[in-house]
Structure 1
């Protein structure tokens, strides 16, 4: 099975991936602040998903 390689994607898909990668940190910070002030189950679940996506980008899994 071939490994996923982001640079083989079309330019528009690489650009979308880059935009998503750049937007994850501000969204994660906003969600963390929201979870601190108004903690609900949904907020905690959403923060966990944001952290997972951020780590996937940071560790080059995506």
Structure 2
């Protein structure tokens, strides 16, 4: 049986880390997007995709 995720039961330090990550993910996406436009490599494109997925998950409150 799988338990439902409840962000209120997390330790306080983990809530702080989660909040900081939510604040910094969009600037990282913008920086990585500009870097990918200037010097695109396979790693940059993959990394940008992962950052966008993480930002989407924070926005939809899945993480």
- One fold, TM greater than 0.5? yes
The Cα RMSD (Å) is: 0.6
Gaps (5+ residues) in structure 1? none
Following superposition, the deviation at residue 5 of structure 1 comes to 1.3
Deviations 1:7-31 (A, max 9, x none): 1101111001100111100000000
Which structure has more relative contact order (CA 8 Å, sep 6+)? It is 1
- Give secondary structure in 2 for the equivalent of 1:60: coil
Count of aligned residue pairs for this structure pair: 62
Task: Output the TM-score relative to the length of structure 2.
Answer: 0.94
Which runs of 4 or more aligned residues in structure 1 lie more than 6 Å from their structure 2 counterparts after TM superposition? none
Task: Output the TM-score relative to the length of structure 1.
Answer: 0.95
Following superposition, the deviation at residue 6 of structure 1 comes to 1.2
Pairing 1:32–2:33 present: yes
Gaps (5+ residues) in structure 2? none
